[in-house]
Chain A
Amino acid sequence: MTSVTTTSQGQERHYLNAGYSIRSWLLTTDHKRIAILYLLTITFFFFVGGAMATLFRLELLTPAADLVSADTYNRLFSMHGVIMVWFFLVPAIPATLGNFLVPLMVGASDMAFPRLNLASWYIFLLGGLFTLTMMIVGGVDTGWTFYTPYSTAFSNSAVILAIVGVFIAGFSSIFTGINIIVTVHKLRAPGLTWFRLPLFIWANYATSVIMVLATPILAITLVLVAVERLLGIGIFDPALGGDPLLFQHLFWFYSHPAVYIMILPGMGVVSEMIAAFARRPVFGYKFVALSSVAIAVVGFLVWGHHMFVSGQSIYAGMVFSFLSFLVAIPSAIKVFNWTASLHGGSIALDTPMLYALGFIGLFTMGGLTGLYLASLAVDVHVHDTYFIVAHFHYIMVGGMVMAYIGGLHYWWPKFTGRLYPEWWGRISAILIFFGFNLTFFPQFILGYQGMPRRYHVYAPEFQVLNVMSTAGASILAVGYIFPIFYLLWSLRRGERAGPNPWRATGLEWQTASPPPPHNFERQPVVSGQPYDYDAVATEESLRDE
């Protein structure tokens, strides 16, 4: 290190000790601090959404209704969905890991629009406050999908507050998306060409394209729902001449691509971790990179598979079914390339790698069951059953949440300058993997046997599998709570990490941990391919001699 700025105590100056006042956090335009603000906010919402899940999983322990009423049950699963989708999964990686890492990985000193970045967090917070108010006044019972005409003409819950919350939060995701896209285009370090970018950048770039182009449709659709509910004028309500399927088209035009908002960044995280812990370049780098873009584009062509049984035209159904199968191609490219990257690597099973391997397995299951659902005839059988619930939780929780927590461990040293305790990390990774499978695998069977989703009572023959599921959920909960404790513990007691504890490639590892306020002491220059772990090995052996 050449000229390192130091604080008065003689420590290296970094983004965390650059200021301690509350003001220095709340008015910061440093992307790293904004990432931390987002991290705290979404962690809070994750546990709020998790608490709802805990309650209705307990209710489902027995076939009868014994813990909550039917109405409360409806509100619990609806709020679980709203909170987890818009206040955890969508911002999970782009706004936290992405916010922190995108400028570091492209060798920039900040995001392209630092003030817009801070504004996006405040907007997110405002949306979150509306959502919390909605919960306090009794919650919403429409499901996270706000289907009309139930949401506009019949529901007696706080639909408007819920809609306003999601509407506002949508703008924060648009702003994050614009920031990431422009940063990647305009602020790359000298020599960092597109095909030298880390795959995490490709994934977040593709995600941002979806966030920017899909979210406005959600916004206007929610405006229309609010107008119909408040003013009683016909837009979607068939009694007033409206078309409820129009709502579903508009809603799923956003919400299906939103599924890719919730999985693509996870794929980016996994690509980084696989390369670092197999000590090998990612196999078929260009295919993995371009498949992210392909998923982002093709993901917009498939939304009608949510509407196979809704009265949509059968011809449109056939088109959507065919297009849905196409998404499997780029997804499979990724899975094959990850496994090929492992081949012949020297694999270290550190915590992040455990999450990455878990991700590959669970995402594959979630993706393959997606193909069942994309087939028109099979979908008629399993639509609105627990099969669907299991399918998307394998993607959202088995995929995204695994990748997110894995990524949090992988970059924790960069965030905080400290290492997390490795054994605790492995234990909770394994708990989460087993807990997850025990929770959701039985739901595939339940769904296939015909147990419908969104009911708070069920036939007695489904009880065994439901008990397994609830038992799994309690293991899962423990697995999620552990990291809170040991990560906080590591802030003071963790071993000092140094700039590059994983001996990984990538610009983010070439600066101090935690990074200085403007990321790099000198503008980095890139001269080679990404994931050049052979070069790292050569360099290390030379140094040892």
Chain B
Amino acid sequence: MNERPAALGHPYDDLEQQRDAATMGMWLFLATEVLFFGALFVGYTVYRIAYPQGFSEASRHLDATLGAVNTGLLLTSSFFMALAVWAAGRRRRRLVLLFLLLTMFLGLGFLGIKGFEWYQEFRQNLVPLPGLTFEAGGDFPQQSELFFNFYFIMTGLHAVHLLIGVLLVGFFAVLVWRRTRIGEAFIMQLELLGLYWHFVDVVWIFLFPLLYLLGGT
């Protein structure tokens, strides 16, 4: 038996096997996430079919410009995340740190804008919570309320996922900052984190047109 590399854990025989297993585990986890969010998309679709006018009325209350800016931020963050993995593969420690920090700040920027949007909606009485008045106006207020229920649950769950992503990216940045060199195990973990980050981005890519852009002109 050769000496076991430091990054090789129990119960694996070699690094490639370990990496394959970890990648597969992560993709399976993402498949569960697809279904987790997917059920919400199904619910949204069912009610959109049932209440087309109310949904389109309600959607017009959302700020499509802010939504587009946020989409841009997430796409850019994904780009930097991919670059962080790319740089890690080349052992460029400082570049990895830079890209991770950029990713994190773009994620935080997204959350900031999202929070601002929620605050705007709160000021416009569009938050359907007990104790608050909900006044969407228009011809189909109760249908609009259903739209906003889904809007808040979907964007809320997405934001929670993104927040977890931001915290993890920050944690990884600290690791890179404190270590002197980048090891095999770290590269593998960073790749997995990248998969998660991109997945959260993909969810938003679908949320954006479905929630913000169905009001038409």
Contact = CB atoms under 8 A, between A and B. Distances in A.
Q: Do chains A and B make direct contact within the complex (CB under 8 angstroms)?
A: yes
Interface stretch (B17-25, B71-79, B164-172): B17-25
Given A178-B29, A181-B28, A232-B130, A241 B145 contact: yes
Given A185-B24, A220-B40, A212 B145 contact: no
A459 interface: no
B10 A109 contact: yes
The bracket for how many chain B residues form the interface is 35 or more
Contacts of A518: 11
Interface stretch (A57-65, A110-118, A304-312, A349-357): A110-118
A36 B51 CA distance: 52
A250 B28 contact: no
Interface in A81-114: 103, 108-114
A250 B43 contact: yes
A231 B129 contact: yes
Nearest to B17: A186
A174 to B, nearest CB: 6
Nearest to B144: A241
Given A182-B24, A185-B24, A186-B21, A215 B146 contact: no
Contact of B46 (A110, A213, A246): A246
B143 A241 contact: yes
Contact of B11 (A110, A217, A224, A232): A110
16 contacts: A109-B10, A116-B25, A186-B24, A187-B17, A212-B31, A213-B32, A220-B39, A220-B40, A232-B130, A233-B129, A235-B43, A235-B149, A241-B47, A241-B142, A241-B146, A242-B146
Contact of A112 (B11, B33, B51, B128): B11
| 6 A-B pairs with least C-beta separation | A110-B11, A216-B36, A109-B11, A216-B35, A186-B21, A216-B32
A250 B39 contact: yes
Interface of A: 29, 103, 108-114, 116, 174, 177-178, 181-182, 185-187, 212-217, 219-221, 224, 227, 231-235, 240-243, 246, 249-250, 253, 518
Nearest to A246: B46
B42 interface: yes
Given A219-B36, A220-B36, A108 B11 contact: yes
A240 B21 contact: no
A235 B44 CA distance: 10
Contacts of B47: 241, 243
Contacts of B42: 246, 249-250
A181 B26 CA distance: 12
B214 to A, nearest CB: 18
Contacts of B130: 231-233
Contacts of A242: 146
Nearest to B34: A216
Contacts of B20: 186
A113 B25 contact: yes
Nearest to B46: A246
B131 to A, nearest CB: 10
Contacts of B43: 224, 235, 246, 250
A113 B17 CA distance: 12
B50 interface: yes
Nearest to B152: A233
Task: Point out which of A214, A233, A242 has the most chain B C-beta atoms below 10 A from its C-beta.
Answer: A233
B125 to A, nearest CB: 14
A21 to B, nearest CB: 20
A324 B24 CA distance: 32
Nearest to A177: B28
A364 to B, nearest CB: 33
B113 interface: no
Given A220-B36, A234-B149, A241 B28 contact: no
A27 B129 CA distance: 43
B11 A114 contact: yes
Contacts of A185: 21, 24
A212 B11 contact: no
A109 B32 CA distance: 27
A531 to B, nearest CB: 26
Contacts of A215: 32
Contact of B28 (A212, A219, A232, A235): A212
